[in-house]
A and B are shown apart, each in its own frame.
Chain A
């Protein structure tokens, strides 16, 4: 029914879950976590209380294996549950109940656990782990996505595709710094949910990551003219000058994080070119 990866990445001090399933809005049910607590994926006959309870246990210092035992032990439906857990110090554990529908199982590897049920086969979780390891050096959210893509390519949920989600927790990460949710993106119902989630991750990085100073382009007269004409075509005429019209377009598109006076981020330029139907370069 569902395949997921739960991981801790030491380099970015982040915890994350990525998950896909043939069910509506898998992101509503499966992924739970908190910075410096840990992360949980609860699935199969998902006991949603495993999520907040597991995170609370880890926040009070319990290790991943203790959390799995503590949650599954007293549960009369344990044989139908599946969960993956990574704790505050990056230890991983998982559980696949003996009555989960085949193929069902998981792998713990260091600070990562991959698991799934009703899958095309064991290759799904193996490929997820391989892809996660192989993507070392990419952004954490991209590595989680690579794992989902690999699971999808290896056959994924044998019933089909419907929804996907990726969530990352990092201290003080969110918009305004007031919360630990760094990424929270969902596709609730789509023919290709994992590919669509990848598109959202690209948008998320566009909106919320700062531009790479090395790639910024000078707004020279030629580029200024192109941008000016482009935004004018979209209804942002330079009534009070180019800068004012450009600022209005930037505000509408939520690109404030990438706006640098006198320059333009090439990713922002590509977005504008796509909007006006000009070829991206």
Chain B
């Protein structure tokens, strides 16, 4: 019915879940997480209580393995359930109840758990694990989606395709007053949902990405003239005009005082679509929200 990967980013400590299923809006039910404490996927004959009770147990400091034990013991339907968990310290656990419909199973590697049920075969989770490991060094959200794509290509849910999602929670619970989700993409009903999620990644990078202050260019007189020319304004009003233009394109998060981010300059001078096309072909190493 469903296959998922739950993982911790070895670089940033962010935690994420990517999932796909022949079911409507899998992203609304399966992924759960809390910044700094862990993430989990609850699936098969899933119990939503596993979501918030699992998070509470993770917050209380339980390990991934003991959260599995605490959730499943005392649950008469435990044999029908499936879980993947990564805890506060990055330890993983994958649980598949004995009555989950075949093929059902999962495995853990360093910093990740992959699991699924009603799958085309064990090769689905093996392909996910292999792809996740092979993409080490790439942006985390990109790795999660690549793992999902590998599962899809290996046969995925043997009943077909309907929905997919990827969600990433920040590493540090006290990092910000804002909420703790860095990336959250869903495709609730589509013929090729995993591929659709993959096509949303360049837009995620574009709209939710972060400015790169190290490579940003100062808005000196020549730069103000370039900006003014692109925005049909005067150099003296270039910076406020830039802010307004960026706001309309959802690029606020890439604004820097007195400087212009290189991506912002690229979009300004070459347009949105050309920038998205470039990112789709060659995902940048920098500037991802997760």
Q: Which residues of A contact B (CB under 8 A)?
A: 22-25, 27-28, 45, 47-49, 51-52, 101, 118, 159, 174-176, 178-179, 181, 184-189, 199-200, 203-204, 207, 251-252, 254
Residues of B within 8 A of A23 (CB): 207, 250
Please tell me if the beta carbons of A159 and B248 are within 8 angstroms of each other in the complex: yes
Please tell me if the beta carbons of A188 and B200 are within 8 angstroms of each other in the complex: yes
Residues of A within 8 A of B247 (CB): 101
Q: Does any Cβ of A come within 8 Å of B186's Cβ? A: yes
Whole-angstrom distance from the CB of B197 to the nearest CB of chain A?
9
Q: Cα distance A118–B49 when bound, in Å? A: 39
Please tell me if the beta carbons of A185 and B188 are within 8 angstroms of each other in the complex: yes
Please tell me if the beta carbons of B189 and A200 are within 8 angstroms of each other in the complex: yes
Given contacts A176-B48, A179-B48, contact A185 B178 (CB under 8 A): no
Residues of B within 8 A of A101 (CB): 247-248
Please tell me if the beta carbons of B25 and A189 are within 8 angstroms of each other in the complex: no
Please tell me if the beta carbons of B200 and A24 are within 8 angstroms of each other in the complex: yes
Please tell me if the beta carbons of B188 and A187 are within 8 angstroms of each other in the complex: yes
Given contacts A23-B207, A23-B250, A178-B49, contact A48 B179 (CB under 8 A): yes
Please tell me if the beta carbons of B24 and A175 are within 8 angstroms of each other in the complex: no
Residues of B within 8 A of A47 (CB): 178
Please tell me if the beta carbons of A252 and B250 are within 8 angstroms of each other in the complex: no
Select from chain A the residue with minimum beta-carbon distance to B248.
A159
Main SS at interface, chain B? mixed
Residues of B within 8 A of A178 (CB): 47-49
Q: Does any Cβ of A come within 8 Å of B185's Cβ? A: yes
Interface string of B249-267 (1 = CB under 8 A from A): 0101000000000000000
* CB contact between B25 and one of A52, A199, A200 (< 8 Å): that residue: A200
Please tell me if the beta carbons of A252 and B187 are within 8 angstroms of each other in the complex: no
Please tell me if the beta carbons of B24 and A254 are within 8 angstroms of each other in the complex: yes
Given contacts A178-B48, A179-B52, A254-B23, contact A203 B184 (CB under 8 A): no
Q: Cα distance A251–B189 when bound, in Å? A: 17
Interface string of B196-208 (1 = CB under 8 A from A): 0000100110011
Q: Does any Cβ of A come within 8 Å of B278's Cβ? A: no
* CB contact between B28 and one of A159, A176, A181 (< 8 Å): that residue: A181
* CB-CB nearest 7 A-B residue pairs: A184-B28, A28-B184, A178-B48, A48-B179, A179-B48, A178-B49, A252-B159
Residues of B within 8 A of A181 (CB): 28
Interface string of B157-187 (1 = CB under 8 A from A): 0011000000000000000011101001111
